[in-house]
Amino acid sequence: MLASLLAGRLLNRGVLPATLGLAEPAFQALWSDYFPGARLALPHGGAEDIVELSDLIDLLLHYRAGQRESEVWLAHIVAWGCAGRHHLWQDLGLANRGELSLLLTTAFPSLAALNTGDMKWKKFIYRHYCSKEGIYVCPAPSCATCADYNQCYSAEN
Ligand code: SF4
C-alpha cells in the first residue's frame, strides 16, 4: 500500500503533497523503515489544506487496527486525499479502488466494516464524520429511497 502511494505520487497521480501529507519526521521514518536506500524526490500533487483535515485524521485514528505505526501515517494520508475532488482512490494516487479497500480494511478495519453497503469510500467517510458531529445532510431518510443513490453507491471507476 505504501509503495503504491509513493508510486502514484512519483507519477503525479492524485492530489497528495510531496510528503503524502506527513510531517517530515514521519515521512523520513516511512522511507527508512520500509524503503531503505535513496529517497526519491516526489512532486507536489496540489492538495490544499481542508478545514476538516484534523477531524478526519482523528476519526480514522479512532478506528486504527493498532498493529503498526504506519496506520498513523495512513490516517494522515487518507485525510489529505479527501482534499481532492475525484474518487478517493484516484486522489490518493492508488492504482484502483481495490487498493483503497485493502488499505482501509487493513489499517482501519472496524471503520471499514461499517460500510456494509459498499458505499463510495469518500462518501462513507464523510457521512460517518457528519453523523458523529450530528450533521445530517442526506435528502432522504434511507439510501434505498434516495434520489442521490447513484452518487453514493455506483461504481468508482
Ligand atoms: S444515498 Fe442518499 S440517503 Fe444514502 S448516504 Fe447518499 S445522500 Fe444520504
Output the nine-digit C-alpha cell for 10: 512519483
Q: How many domains does the chain have?
A: 1
Strands (E) located in 69-146: none
Q: Mean pLDDT, the chain, as a whole number?
A: 93
Q: Measured in angstroms, how far is the CA atom of residue 112 from the centroid of ligand 1?
A: 17
pLDDT > 80? residue 136? no
Report residue 78 CA to chain centroid gap.
2
Tell me which residue has its CA closest to atom 3 in ligand 1: 143
| Contact in structure between 17 and 47 (CB atoms under 8 Å) | yes
**pTM check: above 0.85:** yes
Tell me which residue has its CA closest to atom 4 in ligand 1: 143
Name the residue with higher pLDDT: 90 or 139: 90
Q: List pLDDT tens digits, range 41-85.
A: 999 999 888 899 999 999 999 999 999 999 999 999 999 999 999
Range of the domain at 87: 2-153
Model confidence band, residue 144 (pLDDT cutoffs 50, 70, 90): confident
| Contact in structure between 117 and 142 (CB atoms under 8 Å) | no
Tell me which residue has its CA closest to atom 6 in ligand 1: 152
Atom index in ligand 1 nearest the CA of residue 138 equals: 8
